Structure 1
Amino acid sequence: MHQFNFSRKNFRSILYNLINNAIKFQSPDRDCIIHIDTRLREPYVVVSVKDNGLGMNKRQQEQLFTMFRRFHDHVEGTGVGGALW
């Protein structure tokens, strides 16, 4: 049996931000699809969230965890979410 230890508050916040961003930044050309997956990679449990939204280029991906960094202006936000992860 494997155990998954985590901070409930932090995990909820991270998962909420990922799902919320997938919805906020969905492509206007297609339905929003979000895949959430877990898998065991000893000794860790890996949780992944994938969506088919607007996406990010390589430069944006490198800046994803920078405080107050935003990539799209068509929706409200502070740019803090990624920095908290």
Structure 2
Amino acid sequence: MECRLGCGACCIAPSISSVIPGMLKGKPAGVRCIQLTSDNKCKLFNKKERPAVCVNLKPSKEMCGKDAKEAYKNLTSLESLTR
């Protein structure tokens, strides 16, 4: 499965504990990544500065659902389960 262009749910819903350029302490769950554009595209996509956790996250039907709203809901639920 390919990422849904302009979704951005994986850049908002989960917490990221590794360093992100511009967010040296990572980011808490529910907070937009500073590298996410206003149209929900990653400024670091395919760049070496992109955190390994982001590179290794692979989209799937179970995670992404049918649209961005469902993806956000699914990822928020997963975040709660893995706290």
Same structural fold, with TM-score higher than 0.5 when normalized by the shorter chain: no
Structure with greater strand percent: 1
Task: State TM-score, norm by structure 2.
Answer: 0.29
Q: Which one has the largest radius of gyration? A: 1
Q: Which has the higher contact order (CA 8 A, sep 6+)?
A: 2
